[in-house]
Structure 1
């Protein structure tokens, strides 16, 4: 009996000790979990303070979340091209010798502007024939009226009248032909000149000048090339699998492959009806909405054709920084005057990113922020570097 009582007491003690141990472990686990959560929060949300000099040096740009169409798009490549009507080879219909060149490479010229002059024996002869024909025509018109009157009075013969009429018609045709030939060289002379003006057929910039003063030229020889880059458009190559999604009127966003990465927009105006030789691509043409002044033909572009209306919240790529395997943005929390100058307080906030195209990335901010928050669009990496230097990357934690 005594042994049973001792055994029962021992079992009760073990049970009580076990319960206390479990309770202690649960409390410790709860404390550890709360500490980890607090540590994670402190890691995600940090504050950084910059003085006025640091802020100016970082070239920070502030703004708000942008709405960008980054989801429903077809990605294609292409080049900038000039339509045929925006290019011109300037030549002369007559041979001669270059006596003056009024333009330099790259100069802008207007349609009808004189860009060179040539001395041309053919031009002198053409003017001579024109003036002779003009005077002969005036004489024959008077002679025809006289013969017509005489014929009505039956004074002259029918043969004489018909001969005068025939001569008049022949001279009219000759005069018209000479007038047209002179109009081709932009001339309607009242007196004979040896110099022929070469004028620009379109407005644009001088692209090539393969001649110089003293060059003997032949009729039809190219003297200048003029291009009107204001009419540049996109030629985009679309693969067969993407063709069902492409339609006239769709908007295109594009950047240049090797130069300025700023985004430009265009609108599709034409789609070819056959494949390009040797490829399974179709050429799609798009008018650039606002042609940059520095744009030239032959530049490679990366383009997105917007095939849907879906828009997402997005920020420039440089607004997003990475740390500890996560992604963050910075928000201006406060800016105020202090004794040593203005002070800027930034808060680092975790964000989830999505699709990234043409320098912008879809973002979802993982905590509530005011709608009018000023987000760092440029200079975020400078702030992140300052954060790393401050207290070993700790900054001032919330």
Structure 2
């Protein structure tokens, strides 16, 4: 009986001790969860950073606001800058000879009809000689024909002599006209004379190539210069078959080039090809560039966007967005507050969600509402991030 009482007391004691232990564990877990939640809440709080005026200027920080950008409803395509055939010219000579003067350099801008080279050509001298002889012969035959007409009317000469004179006159007229046309082709007006053959620019534009030099012996039809008129440059874009139903004449195209400070350039579709390019399932779409920059040259590779819709989104330059702890943020300049130094800049880090990113801009959704005139660091955000100091005690600004 005594043994039973002892066992019962021991069992009750163990049960009470175990219950107490569980209660303490539950309390400890609850406190741990509270601390974890508090830590997460503290971590999720917006952080602030202060820069003085020297730091602000040294970082070349630029401020701006959210912009409306058409970054959706687009088709991404590749292509290159091209010139139409009428904006390119191959300059050659109709006669052979020797180059004696080159009056232009590579890249020079020339006007249509400008003399760009001189050539000494025996053929040119001979052509002028033949022209002068034909001119004199023609004048003689015209007089002779009139004389034969008079004699024929008086039955003094025979019909055969009259017809022979008429035939000689017509042949010489044809020869004279041919020589006149040939002189015009070599840029010499009939009746004028010159010792050297002048090579003229057939179009206005820039000198692209000069494959000859002074003293070069050139043959008829040999290339002497290449001219390009970049004022008519346009885009040739390769559009895949699946995207063709969405392409229309008049749609806006935007693209940028690294050699033009990454600035956005726009174009407008004016023609859509009617056949596939050889070996591909793409059709060439042509677009006129709205404002021709002097740095645009034929053959530049471009990544372009064809805008097929009108919807717009809030966007910021890519440089405005920083990544930290697996999230994305922007820095907003705080509004003037009492106690803030005039020569200091206080930024608050605000979390954002990003979307489409094209042409240097990214769609953003702010995770909290900001004033309409809020100023965001659109350049230098990573510099601000490097100076970020976590708030301590949940208090004011980090210094």
TM-score greater than 0.5 by the shorter chain:
yes
1:52/1:341 contact within 8 Å kept? no
Deviation (angstroms), 1:251:
0.9
1:251-280, Cα deviation, whole Å (9 max, x unpaired): 111134788533221111111111111111
Trace 1:343-358 onto structure 2 (pairs within 5 A).
343-358=344-359
Distance in 1, matches of 2:225 and 2:52, equals 59
CA spacing shift, 1:167–1:389, aligned 2, 3 Å: farther
Structure 1: where are the runs of 5+ without partners? 1-20
Is the 1:319–1:379 contact (alpha carbons within 8 Å) kept by the matching residues of 2?
Answer: yes
Look up the match of 1:85. Answer: 86
Superposition deviation, residue 125 in structure 1: 0.9
C-alpha distance after superposition, 1:358-395 (max 9, x if no partner): 2111112222222222222111111111115887xx98
Question: Structure 1 length normalisation: TM-score?
Answer: 0.83
The superposition leaves residues 325-345 of structure 1 with CA deviations (integer Å, 9 ceiling, x where unpaired) of 221112222479x99973222
d(CA) in 2 for partners of 1:309 and 1:137? Answer: 73
Q: What is the match of residue 232 of structure 1? A: 233
| Residue 39 (1) aligns with residue 42 (2) | yes
Distance 1:229 1:40, change over 3 A: same
Specify the alignment match of 2:305 in structure 1: 304
The 1:133–1:329 alpha-carbon spacing in structure 2 relative to 1, beyond 3 Å, is: same
- Count of residues paired in the alignment: 371
- Tell me the CA shift for residue 150 of structure 1: 5.2
Q: The residue matched to 1:214 in structure 2 has which SS? A: coil
Q: Distance in 2 between matches of 1:183 and 1:320?
A: 66
Asked if 2 retains the 8 angstrom alpha-carbon contact of 1:388 and 1:395, the reply is: no
| Map of 1:216 onto structure 2 | 217
Q: 1:58 to 1:349 in 2, by over 3 A?
A: same
From the two aligned structures, give the one with the greater strand fraction. 1
Cα deviations by residue, 1:36-75 (Å, 9 ceiling, x for unpaired)? 686255x3x2332221211111111222221211110111
Post-superposition offset of 1:311: 1.1
Give unmatched runs, 5+ long, in structure 2. Answer: 1-23
Report 1:56-135 matches (<5 A): 56-135=57-136
The CA RMSD measured in Å over matched residues stands at 3.3
Matches within 5 A, 1:162-173: 162-173=163-174
Q: Which residue of 2 aligns with 1:263?
A: 264
Q: Given that residues 49 and 389 in structure 2 are in contact (C-alpha distance below 8 angstroms), is that contact kept between their aligned partners in structure 1? A: no
Indicate how the Cα distance of structure 1 residues 202 and 353 shifts in structure 2: closer, same or farther if over 3 A, else same.
same
Q: Give the secondary-structure state (helix, strand or coil) at the position aligned to 1:213.
A: coil
Deviates more, 1:164-173 or 1:215-224: 164-173
Contact preservation (8 Å) 2:234, 2:287: yes
Partner of 2:320: 319
Structure 1 residue 123 displacement after superposition: 0.4
**Preserved CA contact (<8 Å) 2:134 2:172:** yes
Per the alignment, residue 187 of structure 1 pairs with 188
Question: Which residue in 2 is equivalent to 1:199?
Answer: 200
Question: Could you report, residue by residue, the CA deviation over 1:155-205 in whole angstroms, capped at 9, with x for unpaired residues?
Answer: 655444444433332222222211111111111154542200111111222
Judging changes above 3 Å, is the alpha-carbon distance between structure 1 residues 167 and 47 closer, same or farther for their aligned structure 2 residues?
A: same
Cα drift, residue 120 of structure 1 = 0.5
Tell me, yes or no, if the aligned pair for 1:137 and 1:171 is still in contact at 8 Å. Answer: yes
Matches within 5 A, 1:342-381: 342-381=343-382
Q: Is the 8 A contact 1:335 1:344 kept in 2?
A: no
- Bigger drift between 94-103 and 316-325 goes to 316-325
Distance 1:369 1:142 in 2: 98
* TM-score between both structures, scaled by the size of structure 2: 0.83
State the distance in 2 between where 1:257 and 1:235 align.
18
Give per-residue Cα distances to partners, 1:259-313, cap 9 Å, x unaligned.
8533221111111111111111111111111222112222211111111111111
Query: Is residue 98–residue 212 contact of structure 1 (8 Å, CA) maintained in 2?
Result: yes
Aligned-partner SS, 1:182: helix
